[in-house]
Structure 1
Amino acid sequence: MAETSLSTMAGSFDLVYGELQVTIKEAEQSLERFQENRESSEDLQNCIDYINQLRGIFVLVEVQGGVLLCQEAVSLANEVPVGATDDKNTLLTTLNSSLFVLRRYAEYFKTKREDHPELLLPVINDLRQEKNNKPLPDSHFFELDISKKFDMCQPFKAHAKAPLADFEHHSRRLRQMYQVALLGILRDNNVDISLKLLSRASSGLSRLCQDSPLAQLWCLLVIVVQAIQDRNMELTKPRKRLFMRIEKYTKELVYVGKVVTGKTAPDSIIKELVYMLALSGSHNEEVMYVLGGYGKEPMRFNEKQLVSHRKQLFGPGLDVLQSLAGALQEEVVQLKDKLDIIERGIDPDQSDFSVIVSTFKRLSDTLSMLDLHKLSELTRSQAKILENWSNSGTVPSEDELLGIADAVLAVEQAAHKIVDHGISAEADDTAMPENLNINQSPFLTEALIVVNSEAQGGLALTKRAITTYYESNFDKMHLANVYSSLNAVRGSMILIGQERLANSLKACADCIQKELIDSENLPDQKLMETLADILTSLEYYIESMSSREAPNADLLSLTEESLKSVGYSTAA
């Protein structure tokens, strides 16, 4: 039945496709004429009339995405006054962009024979934003019977731990953990580690609120974050805003107290989280349990397809960015080969200098066209210096060569960032002096990798030892090597200049020595839970040191606050 309906709809669309294209063109031309002559009320009204015609056509052929986009476009166009001044430029640009996307969506539907209105949500929300209307949520087109109730925490009950007893202590600690994770996500800083921390915070909050209505939110959030990690889902602005909305419940737990656990999360939050599970494409046990509870299945048009199809409608896709990054990398490789000859003290001939200068100039022009002006200026300035060397016949000093190498490294780092973050200010900022790391030779870089790997191993050994100690009814024999392991990690961190991290490691080692080994009393739950989170935060921070991004200093702040809460200062 559905296939017959789709076939009929597609056939109807073919009949009106030509008219659609003509009408979109008429709307674009009317809008263009109005932008040139803003006193022309006729052109503005014609544009509105054409968009209304487009809406009628999309209603006729039952293309929901086109209908909603036209509705929002007409609503915005009616906000444009005759004689619009420059303050309406952004509004007119947004309207123009919506017509471009509408044309692309008509082509998309003709090719794919599928209506996926969720593809158009970014441009629909751009139109709504210009009118100061609230954006539509990602789940706007997702139907869910939210009245169905079941225990979201059921998948975790087989391995459930005891509830957390000291509510005030743990609520503050877990809120700070959630905030550190959220800040990392908002800043796109070490996102994988931030997600791990968010999952741990949510799991802890579910224990804090155990057997209460609010625990359902935290259990669901644990499952969602796991799906995001497993399926490598994008952390879009709407998803970041959702995590920010959820953060307010951690605040209430701290400042209002345990009574807040009797609250239930709003249906809008639950619907968004369940939609993310349905969209993820994950079939793991916890995801299927939640979807089954609502009578839903994983969506056929999943996150991977949504991202891929949306890139066909908007801007340069990943393939274009990868090609661009590849071209920049090729230029960098050529520069490295030529600079290596000079660095080894081999007298370069004139042609070597000419190749390096022309490559730098070519890079500068390319970067300028991409609006990466800081990088463009950096490479152009190095080209001028090289030209001076070539003309004077002098050989550059070591410091001067390092300046050239700085520029090459900046372009190489920018190429990586373009793939990860697009053509952005973040890529351009690699030209800033504080972001250049040329003094790290390949040998030092390799040494840092080894040090980080051994440090992660030392922390993993410590965590296993403490787990075994707890499971063996507090047999101290299992902790015999913990202090020396942490001290070795601390020493390696001092060696690479991580003094603040080293201080936290020392305080952690002292805590374990005094509270678990030397003390005659058994440790309480508060200490064991806090210690577990301290070690996890240290582990995540050291792991983040291995990435191309700067380590998340908030993880160290979290560690220091947790140590302080059990009586151990990290002051040197």
Structure 2
Amino acid sequence: MVKGGTSLALVRDELYATMEQAELSLEQFIVERDNGSLLQHAIEALQQVRGTLSLIELTGAEMLAQEVYQQATDIPTGAGSERDGQLSALCKALFVLRRYLENVELLRQELPEALLPTINELRQAGHLPSLPESFFFSVRLDQPRPHDGHSGAGLDAALSRRLQHMYQLGLLDYLRGNNLPASLKLMMRALQRMDAGLAGEPGRLCWIAAAALETCSDAQLLPRRSRKQLFSRLERELKHALHKPGHEISRSLLKELLYLVALGASQGDLARQVRNTFNLTPLPFTDHMLEDAYQRLSGPGQAVLRSLSAAIHEELAGLKDLLDLIERGTAQPESYASLHGLLGKLAKTLDMVGLSSAGNALQAQLPVVAEWSAEQPPQPDSLHRLADAVLYVESMVASLQREQRPAVVPPGQEAQSFANHQLTEAHIVVVGEAQAGLNLAKRAITSYLESSGDKLHLANVPSTLQAVRGGLWFLQQQRAAWLVGACAEYIQKQMLEAAQTPPGQLLETLADALSSLEYYLESGAVMRPETRPSVLDLAEESIKALGMAVPANA
């Protein structure tokens, strides 16, 4: 319960009437740009709105009203098209402010963080810097790191370069929105390895940043633009920290990272340590609650396409049921008309979502299906062609759900497209098995270390990795297959057959190689031949650091 939510009821009618005056004056000014009195009326009404919100202590709403007021005063009479973006942002902000106040009045709860996207859109339209996500968040940044045996033994140049490369590879895919869990995992791995070798503030930064990435992964925090900018900024900060001794770590960067740790409430070890150290209490909202609140304020959400895909699948299921009845000869007389209507409706839906090739495939079948009836049932060839078209549509929708651009095929080649789709599905199964094999190997190595070198934990690891190697050969990924085989050979000769356990640094390097290969699989590189081989370069560097010879054609 907030004071502003209670007080809002007392000024509600007058406040909403003043906001409506501001909106009308602003909308009329957009049409009549030379009428300065319209703009002045809007500014006066906005000033009154701002004062009222300040009086009833609605912090977030007052901030948004203040931004709207300042932007409006910046617009001159006779503003040209160069101000269209700013005027549009003003109108949207007033709409959001009205929706926000209605929610506060209904729920008696203020959530100013939900207004930050609108405030920042408005500031960007006025060429002002955006406010950070942590604007309403407070924390003491001077808390010392607990003594947990961290030594900061140092990083040599080669290892430092390899770990920076590892972080950059994960960051690149994170920026592109490709396979976020794998990207976050690789970035976190790089930071943990840096933390092990860095002392002082640089090590503390890596520790906090790794906890933030752990939280992003565990709590599935959304990859907002501000977070992509944050982790890009972190990459630059790490570069300065590694190459410029005595570099002062940005306090605003630390605050943003700690905000993510507090927001996600991850149960991971790193996140728990950081929360305890900085006394971070759980926030009264989650990232997804914020997103839902913002979508309620600004309009429809981003899940429309996913819901539409599910609806298309339901339509396809009904279509296939009708086809099955017709093929068996048990369809009702009205089933043929239903089939024709369903095909036409589905074709239009596919065109609307951009799957014009799939829509055309169904559209081409409409004249044929129109001739079918109980008295004139379809010939087997015609029925099979329609079935091929339906299967093609199903594969296109599946590609859309995987966020891949579906391949367009000419009419008549739907069967071949479906066969390609089935082959792709088989590849996905093989990749999944390979990922599981690498995960099993990493868990076994962890158990081996925790048991002080009990080789029983490693007994099945070489054979498991050789099976992964075989799967990669099937996928024509010869280089990745060779690197996995090299890991299997190292484990067999240097860990199982050797009398002594390899040094910890070499075991970490082996884990780097396996992590790079795991990322290569999880990031979809196997399914996208155009993907650059940088990840495999990283794995190869780790293999070389283990002292193993790498053939020139690997």
**TM-score, reference length from structure 2:** 0.83
Would you say the 8 A contact 1:80–1:88 is kept in 2?
Answer: yes
| 2-structure distance, mates of 1:339, 1:268 | 62
Q: Is 1:149 the equivalent of 2:143?
A: yes
Q: Provide the C-alpha distance between the structure 2 equivalents of 1:402 and 1:164, rounded to a whole number of angstroms.
A: 63
Aligned match of 2:252 in 244, 268, 272? 268
Distance 1:410 1:458, change over 3 A: closer
Q: Aligned to 1:135, which of 106, 119, 130?
A: 130
What is the aligned counterpart of 2:184 among 184, 195, 199? Answer: 195
Task: Determine the structure 2 residue equivalent to 1:113.
Answer: 108
What letter matches 1:170 in structure 2?
Answer: L
Paired residue for 1:423? Answer: none
Partner of residue 330, structure 1 = 314
User: Which of the residues 331, 339, 342 maps onto 1:359?
Assistant: 342
How many Å apart are 1:568 and its aligned residue?
Answer: 2.1
CA distance in 2, matches of 1:451, 1:544: 14
- Show the 5 A alignment for 1:225-374: 225-252=213-240, 256=243, 259-260=244-245, 262-282=246-266, 286-287=270-271, 289-317=273-301, 323-338=307-322, 355-366=338-349, 372=353, 374=354
Q: How many residues align?
A: 539
CA contact (8 A) 2:22 2:42 kept: yes
Q: 1:440 to 1:531 in 2, by over 3 A?
A: same
Shift of 1:99: 0.9
Secondary structure of the residue that 2:200 maps to in structure 1? coil
Q: How much has 1:285 moved relative to structure 2?
A: 6.4
Q: Residues 380 and 150 from structure 1, CA distance in 2 versus in 1: closer, same or farther, beyond 3 angstroms?
A: same
Give, as a single letter, the amino acid of the residue that structure 1 aligns with 2:392.
D
CA–CA distance in structure 2, aligned partners of residues 225 and 466 of structure 1: 23
Contact 2:344 2:366 in 1 (8 A): no
Query: What's the TM-score once normalised by structure 1's chain length?
Result: 0.81
**What is the CA distance between 1:176 and its match in structure 2?**
1.3
Kindly tell me: are residues 227 and 78 of structure 1, through their superposed partners in 2, closer, same or farther at Cα, counting changes over 3 Å? same
Letter in 1 for 2:345: R
Kindly state the Cα deviation for residue 232 of structure 1 after the two structures are TM-superposed. Answer: 2.4
Q: Deviations over 1:344-395 (max 9, x none)?
A: 89899997675455334323444555xx3x31x2243123311244468773
Contact 1:541 1:552 in 2 (8 A): no
Aligned partner (choices 478, 481, 485) of residue 506 of structure 1 = 485
Spell out the pairing of 1:473-512 with structure 2 (5 A cutoff): 482-512=461-491
**What letter matches 2:144 in structure 1?**
F
TM-superposed deviation, 1:471? 7.2
Amino acid at match of 1:175: Q
Amino acid at match of 1:363: L
SS at match of 1:301: coil
1:384 to 336, 353, 363: 363
Paired letter, 2:19: I
- Tell whether the 8 Å contact from 1:69 to 1:120 is kept in structure 2 after alignment: yes
Which residue does the alignment assign to 1:41?
36
CA–CA distance in structure 2, aligned partners of residues 76 and 506 of structure 1: 62
Closer, same or farther: CA 488–304 of 1 in aligned 2, 3 Å: closer
State the alpha-carbon separation in 2 of the partners of residues 341 and 541 from structure 1: 45
Give the C-alpha shift of residue 85 in structure 1.
Answer: 3.0
Do structure 1's residue 439 and structure 2's residue 425 form an aligned pair?
A: no
Quickly say closer, same or farther: Cα 1:552–1:13, change in 2 above 3 A.
farther
Q: Provide the rounded CA distance (Å) in 2 between the counterparts of 1:240 and 1:206.
A: 21
Q: How far 1:565 moved relative to its partner?
A: 5.1
| Maintained 8 Å contact 1:278/1:296 | yes
3-state SS of 1:39 partner: coil
Unaligned runs of at least 5 residues, structure 1: 418-425
Q: Give RMSD over aligned pairs.
A: 4.0
CA distance in 2, matches of 1:66, 1:464: 50
- Give me the whole-angstrom Cα distance separating, in 1, the residues matched to 2:333 and 2:19: 57
Instruction: Judge which range, 112-121 or 273-282, deviates more.
Output: 273-282
3-state SS in 2 of match to 1:316: coil
Paired AA for residue 358 in structure 1: G
1:70-89 correspondence to structure 2 within 5 Å:
70-89=65-84
Give distance in 1, aligned partners of 2:448 and 2:499: 15
1:29: how far off? 1.4
Query: In 2 relative to 1, CA 134–197 (structure 1 residues): closer, same or farther, beyond 3 Å?
Result: same
Of 283-292 and 88-97, the range deviating more from structure 2: 283-292
* Structure 2 gap segments, 5+ residues each: 372-377, 411-415
Worse overlay, 195-204 or 402-411: 402-411
Stretch moving more, 402-411 or 231-240: 402-411
Q: What is the identity, as a one-letter code, of the residue corresponding to 2:78?
A: G
